[in-house]
């Protein structure tokens, strides 16, 4: 790997990678070669002609001509002499080319450029991903997920893998993808909600999952996708949604701390961001109070009885950043009218729920709540939402044989990465994006 060249002594080495640039000068050629670990400068003292019978000259001439014809993105293997030279700007090393093999030749015309539109780059995603900045995004994703798993495992969580084919809706029928399933119809899971709750009466106590989820939502915003990676956790023995929020904030601190420790310098170089690890506890603001704060800032949420809209989220996040210096804020105590039937309501005030949304850098990334675990209350709340309890047969059975109080959250991985890196669209941080008009590549 190119990153391993610098510590080596001068001498013969072999490297492979993609041709990034070729500078073809009269008496010398320079090639910048890049692999997934970095870039190195190759040099060839060019020979433009050779005398008859001069085998070495003929070989050097052939090499010079091969280098002159290299297209951007061609994959080559080079054997040559490594030399440390402080004058070389690219890492203080270079390799004098002895031999060069074109392993995979690229077409001369590259279909995308740095200024290509996002849709065009998505059409050629494998080329778009070759850049160091894009490569770093998915190294960050790997580090972030690994840190979450470390936190969960260190705290005695069990990892589960829930099915993505369901016989009925897990949340809203309005956003379901239907799939032919032998002689019946199945639905792609919108979330692992019901199944992670099932783990509570099963005696698992604390569970997590990182897996795909599907929403038949025809939105074309920068933060929506029809297929996305959902980060989920559910825990037993809680007193309120405060226990879930405490878990959530500790998890985010663990993930961001790991990313900053491993990639902080690279993020500063490629994204121009000084990544901040948030302090705990995160600010908590009831929804009604948040709406008042937003209104005082001069923005009225269009429907007062509804959730925060995107501008409202940006405004409350700006308030928290200005007054508390924090990138995160929990908006709590949502009205039961705008929350699912399985969210537990306040003791003494059934109009409010023990639930929250977590906002990060002005965008909602997660919804969490304490669940209603009392079967009689759960049935009544389902009826209030116009849901026939008969349709919830297997789900309601979870609560008929002894279930502890519990709660949890679901969080969109791509949104977290987008906001962490100050990107403008989840398309940039999703390996292969799926939306209403995109099913390829």
pLDDT class of 53 with cuts at 50, 70, 90: low
For residue 349, the cross-strand partners are 346
Tens-digit pLDDT profile for residues 243-255: 999 999 999 999 9
pLDDT tens, residue by residue, 307-320: 899 999 999 999 99
Task: Output the six-digit token pair for 202.
Answer: 């099963």
pLDDT digits (tens, 9 = 90+) for 100-143: 999 999 999 999 998 999 999 999 999 999 999 999 999 999 99
Q: Do the domain assignments include residue 40?
A: yes
**Domain's final residue, options 104, 130, 156:** 104
Q: How many domains does the chain have?
A: 2
Same domain flag for 374 and 285: yes
Q: Give the DSSP H or E segment for 251.
A: helix 241-271
Phi, psi torsion values for 347, nearest 5 degrees: -65, 120
Same domain, 92 and 151: no
Residue 58 domain-assigned (yes or no): yes
Shared domain check, 303 and 215:
yes
Are the C-beta atoms of 358 and 287 separated by less than 8 Å? Answer: no
Predicted local distance difference test score (pLDDT) of residue 172: 58
Residue 75 included in any domain: yes
Domain boundaries, position 40:
2-104
Mean pLDDT of 371-375: 97
Residues in binding site: 171, 215, 364, 367, 371, 412-415
Q: Residue 113 domain-assigned?
A: no
- Predicted TM-score of the model (pTM): 0.94
Q: Note whether residue 280 is domain-resident.
A: yes
For the annotated binding site for L-aspartate, the residues are: 171, 215, 367, 371
User: Is 93 inside any structural domain?
Assistant: yes
Pairing verdict, β 158-159 and 206-214: parallel
Cβ–Cβ under 8 Å, residues 371 and 407: yes
331 and 381, same domain (yes or no): yes
Identify whether the C-beta of residue 373 lies closer than 8 Å to the C-beta of residue 402.
no
Encoded tokens for 344: 């537990």
* Structural domain contains residue 109: no
Rounded-to-integer distance, Cα 159 and Cα 199, Å: 11
Asked if 22 contacts 31 with a C-beta cutoff of 8 angstroms, the reply is yes
- Give the CATH number of the domain where residue 276 resides: 3.30.930.10
Average pLDDT over residues 339-362: 96
Q: Both 67 and 141 in a single domain?
A: no
CA dihedral 137, 143, 148, 153 (to 10 degrees): 150
In a domain, 441, yes or no: no
Q: Which residues pair with 187 in a beta bridge?
A: 166, 178
Calculate mean pLDDT across residues 153-162. Answer: 98
Q: List, as residue ranges, the binding site for ATP.
A: 364, 412-415
């Amino acid at each position: 790997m190119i990153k391993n060249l610098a510590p080596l002594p001068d001498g013969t080495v072999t490297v492979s990678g993609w041709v990034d640039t070729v500078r073809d000068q009269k008496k010398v050629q320079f090639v910048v070669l890049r692999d997934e670990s970095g870039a190195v400068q190759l040099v060839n003292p060019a020979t433009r002609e050779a005398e008859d019978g001069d085998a070495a000259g003929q070989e050097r001439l052939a090499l010079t001509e091969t280098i002159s014809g290299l297209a951007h993105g061609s994959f080559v293997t080079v054997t040559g002499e490594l030399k440390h030279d402080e004058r070389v700007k690219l890492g203080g090393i270079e390799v004098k080319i002895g031999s060069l093999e074109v392993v995979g030749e690229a077409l001369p015309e590259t279909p995308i450029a740095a200024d290509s539109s996002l849709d065009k780059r998505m059409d050629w995603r494998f080329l778009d991903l070759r850049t160091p900045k894009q490569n770093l995004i998915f190294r960050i994703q790997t580090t972030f997920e690994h840190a979450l798993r470390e936190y969960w495992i260190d705290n005695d969580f069990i990892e589960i893998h829930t099915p993505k084919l369901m016989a009925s809706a897990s949340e809203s029928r309005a956003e379901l993808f239907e799939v032919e399933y032998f002689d019946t119809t199945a639905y792609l899971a919108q979330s692992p909600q019901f199944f992670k709750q099932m783990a509570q009466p099963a005696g698992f106590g604390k569970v997590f999952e990182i897996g795909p989820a599907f929403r038949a939502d025809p939105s074309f915003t920068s933060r929506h996708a029809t297929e996305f990676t959902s980060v989920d956790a559910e825990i037993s023995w809680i007193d309120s949604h405060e226990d879930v929020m405490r878990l959530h904030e500790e998890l985010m601190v663990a993930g961001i701390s790991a990313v900053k420790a491993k990639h902080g310098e690279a993020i500063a170089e490629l994204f121009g961001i000084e990544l901040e690890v948030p302090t705990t506890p995160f600010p908590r603001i009831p929804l009604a109070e948040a709406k008042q704060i937003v209104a005082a800032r001069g923005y009225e949420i269009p429907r007062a009885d509804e959730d925060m809209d995107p501008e409202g989220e940006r405004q409350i996040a700006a308030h928290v950043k200005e007054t508390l210096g924090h990138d995160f804020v929990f908006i709590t105590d949502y009205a039961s009218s705008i929350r699912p039937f399985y969210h537990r309501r306040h003791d003494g005030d059934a109009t409010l729920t023990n639930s929250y949304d977590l906002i990060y850098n002005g965008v909602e990334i997660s919804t969490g709540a304490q669940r209603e675990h009392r079967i009689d209350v759960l049935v009544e709340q389902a009826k209030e939402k116009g849901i026939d309890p008969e349709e919830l047969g297997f789900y309601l059975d979870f609560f008929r044989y002894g279930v502890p109080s519990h709660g949890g959250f679901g969080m969109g991985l791509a949104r977290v990465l987008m906001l962490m890196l100050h990107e403008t669209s989840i398309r940039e941080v999703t390996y292969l994006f799926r939306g209403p008009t995109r099913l390829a590549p």
